[in-house]
Chains A and B, each alone.
Chain A
Amino acid sequence: MLRIENLEVYRGRTYVLKGISLEVGRGEIVALIGANGAGKTTTLKTISALLHPHRGRIAYRTETDQELALDRLPAEEIVRQGVSHCPEGRGVFAGLTVRENLVAGAYLRRDKPGIREDFQRVYELFPILEQRASQTAGSLSGGEQAMLAIGRALMARPRLLILDEPSLGLAPLIVARIFALLAEINARGVTILLVEQNAIMALDLSHRAYVLETGRVTLSGASSAIACDEAVRRAYLGGQSR
């Protein structure tokens, strides 16, 4: 569904991605793990056209089986093609109500009945959001904001959901709940590309994974295999993992 080839990205003058390639197949959950500064967030931002590549291509297969070069499209067109990005730090609109945040998530859609259906679907997944619908997002707890950010991304009715550190700053119990919900969202047919520092949880949830180190993919394969890899265990799953 998504194929990245030899992607090189600069942020300012810093050479962050030094030619990475990865693939996400339809229906998969793919995890991107690695230490701080490895280029995980940069990869995601480049997919969503918040950053532009210096070299390389990002190919995306649309619903109608066309191949699009995402690196040539503006951000809103990428959303329209079904790629929804739940950003690092969640980025909920604090001054908007929960409902308005969800409306913003469906910004490009015109199908009112479909939007209403998705409101129900999101409220079903995250009942707390329905209770808090008219509160401002800034008044929610961290876990509730994480749910809102995911719900908002779902309001675009994505084919590919991109998540940047959904576990960041959350209590383990809440992380476990959110990961269970991600599995459920995936089971309903949404492909997921997940960036995580919490490598144990990410490898547990995902089918396949890529390990990123200072802008390069150093390891890839089935998540279960990577979880057993000696080097990965030492680097990410031992004392350093959170």
Chain B
Amino acid sequence: MTGGYITQQIVNGLILGSMYALVAIGFTMIYGIIRLINFAHGDVVMIGAFVTLGLLQILGWPFWLVSLCVLAAGAFVGLCIERTAFRPMRGAPQVTGFITSLAVSIMIQNLGIVFVSAQPRNFTFPGFLQQLLRVGPVSFRAVDLVIMATALVLMAALILLVRKTRLGVGMRATAENLDVARLMGININRTIMATFAVGGALAAVAGLMWGGKFGQIDPLLGFVPGLKSFVAAVIGGVGSIPGAICGGYILGLAEVLFVGLLPPIYSAFRDAFVFGTLILILLVLPNGLLGKRMEDRA
């Protein structure tokens, strides 16, 4: 096992981690603001992938424009989910929201099967993104570079939004205390919708990346990245955005390195490693890496 091989695995892990991190951010923000574990979040990844497929391969739009449209589509889907499924549930016990999110998830998957069929579809990015690049012993495609760079830019933009803008203050205030936020004149409905929109946009972009990375998409593809990103959010400490980012990269690296460094017969246990990592981290740090102790909100 050479240094080059390990470096290659680390790069692969970072690519996978970028996608997990983008999805995990949505999980953590939505949980942070309304204490909802939104299992429909992974399905926005799938929608993002299909929007990309439609615009890029069928309509042939330029890549940059497709990326922007995917962001917008994800935000729109996030908004719709909040407005139609979760707003009516506001104030209900946590379990109700949780079950609702499962229902939304199943509904999106089945609508996907109805409208685009369950048949997996090939997904190819334009030629310039398929180009193979080599840096020393490490080789990757241009699309991998785009994935990592886009993820970093989006995460930086998100952190600026949350840390530096008025909307960001409103989001964090709402996440801490809904009632007091209302006393400040913060329109919490608008703030919560904005959170779903931001989370949805990031998840949809992760869907674009997912398609580009693995080359095949189907209406059920959102489940696994959704679940693993949820794990990433928990590892990082649910509610913490930097935590979700760290959790995403740790999980991506752990997954790839386990598979890459252990003998090949273990590679079928890929997902077991992911959840093993979760259990180990939670045993040592019950609130995740960067999580605060969080009280339940009734």
Interface residues of A (CB under 8 A from B): 48-50, 74-76, 79-80, 84-85, 87, 91, 93-96, 100, 103-105, 107-108, 152, 156
A194 CB → nearest B CB, Å: 16
Q: Assess whether A79 is in contact with B179, with CB atoms less than 8 Å apart.
A: no
Q: Which of A87, A103, A107 contacts B185 (CB 8 A)?
A: A107
Q: Assess whether A48 is in contact with B185, with CB atoms less than 8 Å apart.
A: no
Among residues of B, the one whose C-beta sits closest to the C-beta of A77 is B185
Q: Can you show 26 pairs from A to B with CB atoms below 8 A apart? A: A48-B182, A50-B182, A50-B183, A75-B182, A75-B183, A76-B182, A76-B185, A76-B187, A79-B184, A87-B179, A87-B183, A91-B179, A91-B180, A93-B172, A93-B176, A94-B176, A96-B176, A103-B166, A104-B170, A104-B173, A104-B181, A104-B184, A107-B166, A107-B184, A108-B185, A152-B184
Known: A91-B177, A93-B177. A105 touches B184 (CB 8 A): yes
Taking the complex as formed, is B227 at the interface, i.e. its CB lies under 8 A from any CB of chain A? no
Taking the complex as formed, is B169 at the interface, i.e. its CB lies under 8 A from any CB of chain A? yes
Among residues of B, the one whose C-beta sits closest to the C-beta of A152 is B184
Instruction: Tell me the count of chain B residues lying within 8 A, CB to CB, of chain A.
Output: 17
CA distance A96 to B168 in the complex (A): 11
CA distance A164 to B38 in the complex (A): 35
Q: Assess whether B176 is in contact with A75, with CB atoms less than 8 Å apart.
A: no
The 7 A-B pairs of least Cβ separation, nearest first, read A79-B185, A91-B180, A108-B185, A75-B182, A76-B185, A93-B176, A85-B183
Across-interface contacts of A108 in B (CB, < 8 A): 185
A82 CB → nearest B CB, Å: 11
Contact string, B255-287, partner A, CB cutoff 8 A, digits 1/0? 000000000000000000000000000000000
Across-interface contacts of B169 in A (CB, < 8 A): 96, 100, 103-104, 107
CA distance A182 to B194 in the complex (A): 37
Of A50, A76, A80, A87, most buried by chain B (CB within 10 Å of CB) is A76
Q: Assess whether A107 is in contact with B179, with CB atoms less than 8 Å apart.
A: no
Taking the complex as formed, is B138 at the interface, i.e. its CB lies under 8 A from any CB of chain A? no
Across-interface contacts of B185 in A (CB, < 8 A): 75-76, 79-80, 107-108, 156
Known: A76-B185, A107-B184, A107-B186. A50 touches B173 (CB 8 A): no
Across-interface contacts of A76 in B (CB, < 8 A): 182, 185-187
Q: Assess whether A107 is in contact with B170, with CB atoms less than 8 Å apart.
A: yes
> Given A76-B185, A91-B183, A107-B170, 17 other A-B contacts at CB below 8 A?
A50-B183, A74-B187, A75-B185, A79-B183, A79-B185, A84-B183, A85-B183, A87-B179, A87-B180, A93-B172, A93-B173, A93-B177, A95-B176, A96-B169, A96-B172, A105-B184, A108-B185
